[in-house]
Chain A
């Protein structure tokens, strides 16, 4: 009798476990995954003035996927990239994410170039439970507070802002000025920069605003010079930065310039400034360890040229390459029975992963932080060539 009872209990328990496993299996989400492929979506601007952060980053992702596919894919599955244009606008970005989620039915998304557009899609991504790896947008709000399914491999605005101030102080700056764009992009960096100043107990000697596409910056430079600044932290796009540097030199003002990742294509920036010696004291953050012309990037340069004839490897490609390598690593670690849950777990467990491009290792400290890149590097023009001069470890 007892044996029968035990048998019944065991059978019931077994059935319950089987049922639970069944429910768990039913809940496991493998949308976008077939026996032969994994469909990954990408969003970002494909045209317009800042297409580089979208289209070129996607080209970098495509180059990594092509390389992985040439080697047999991930657990036998080829990676397929589906691109959607978000036009850098919240409305278009939400449409793009909905299209990727419900029409293309992708497994995960990579990209996100513009802060406000990427911020706007966060609720939709969370509702659709699609994993996303951000590779260009920098606003902290995209990944802070932590969203279970959103990671970033780009340096965030607060990391860069703290690094800019720390770098200026390490170089002996005493009177630091700020010039910032007060648009969505600029404010995402400007606000944490002011917080970093506050945390260090210092006040900027001058705080000037500039438009993204100015024709002249004489007024700003004269005011900053008048306040006795010895260094300028730039929160501007390259065009505004180039005009500031040019006008400062014109007025005989040679402060320490501290840029950020928007001005990380120093070859192009040098041409935009167009004055010899103007960048002698100009340093800027790069999210990548190498410049496109460095010999270490020769292989990637070849791959980009092969896939996109006529294109030259750029730093924007490198952003895409880094993020795609992290994504591929997590896809491999997620195992053969690929689900979104397994992929997110694998992303969260990435520790000290070295990519071909990022200055430091990538570590995602889930669930505390999904901001996986904490290593800004610095570049300067030396002998006419952009050169990486070091990596900042934030205090």
Chain B
């Protein structure tokens, strides 16, 4: 039974379920499933940066927005077809992410958080105020995406693209974190000086972590613009950042499976909360508090203990696996000198 419920099998089952949603569910549930796919990409990308590489960054919502704006504006201003605008948006976000790695070389912890937060606010300001390019605070609707000659409507076409992107990026992240890259990230997270002593090039791997995270967020952003048919600055504010972090925290830091679980829970939760009108802030805030207090390593840690999951390079608890208040390696790590 435990073997049957392994992370790989569950991911496979989840993607099979998501693949059949458009055939079985109405358009509302298809939309929600599409958001699940996008938040999975976002959470996995952010987890690579903060969970594996240990960089406390707050610019994921900005990267998400850069991807959405990049792809949308290329279509709106230059008539670039979506098949080209989508990877372009992701690449623009990846380049922005790589630039973000520069301050990360000299800063860590709270200082890095502040710099990335400032970058996120600056990005939001540009989106809202550079009217001639970004259409300003009112946002814009990118041109309709034509999936011809495939017999697909825009919602179904976007769903298919999101499914393929999520599957591909999760597969890549899973394998990358099991490779030399993942080991370098974790070494960097656990101690930069020790990592350097082991011959790990900090510049290279920090840039790679930010670039990968930017690419994931940018891809999700470029898809998001197509799914919504609208791009506006309020979709990429601090609340959006909180949602990404919440998905990672609820699922489990430093775990691909945790990110997937966190994203599913987050999107479903936001919709369930919709049912309890006007209680969103209380319910969501309470849940986050409960996780931080009682399950700080996320749901995946619980599943690891109950089902014996063992994900490569996932944070391991110490000898006393039941102690929930035990600090994570990232929390105990001293800032880089």
Question: Which residues of A are at the interface with B, using a C-beta cutoff of 8 A?
Answer: 46-48, 51, 55, 83-85, 87-92, 94-96, 98-99, 101-103, 115-116, 119-120, 123-124, 139, 141, 182-188, 191
Contact = CB atoms under 8 A, between A and B. Distances in A.
Contacts of A191: 138
Range of interface residues on B (Cβ < 8 Å): 20 to 34
B139 A184 contact: yes
Contact of A90 (B26, B32, B139): B139
Nearest to B231: A90
B228 A91 contact: yes
A182 B128 CA distance: 8
Contacts of B32: 95
Interface in B39-77: none
Contacts of B8: none
B137 A184 contact: yes
A295 to B, nearest CB: 32
Nearest to A185: B137
Given A84-B274, A115-B138, A101 B232 contact: no
Interface of B: 26-29, 31-32, 35, 128-129, 131, 136-139, 141, 224, 228-230, 232-235, 270-271, 274, 277-281
A29 B256 CA distance: 46
A183 B137 contact: yes
B168 to A, nearest CB: 23
Nearest to A186: B137
Given A85-B278, A89-B235, A116 B28 contact: no
Given A92-B274, A98-B31, 12 more contacts: A51-B278, A91-B35, A91-B224, A94-B31, A95-B35, A101-B27, A102-B26, A102-B27, A103-B29, A184-B232, A186-B137, A188-B138
A123 B141 contact: yes
Contacts of A99: 28, 274
Given A88-B234, A95-B31, A123-B229, A187 B136 contact: yes
Given A98-B31, A115-B138, A184 B234 contact: yes
A48 B281 CA distance: 8
Centre residue among B32, B131, B139, B141 by max chain A CB count within 10 A: B139
Contacts of A186: 137
Contact of A119 (B28, B29, B35, B138): B138
A73 to B, nearest CB: 24
A159 B228 CA distance: 29
A118 to B, nearest CB: 11
B28 A184 contact: no
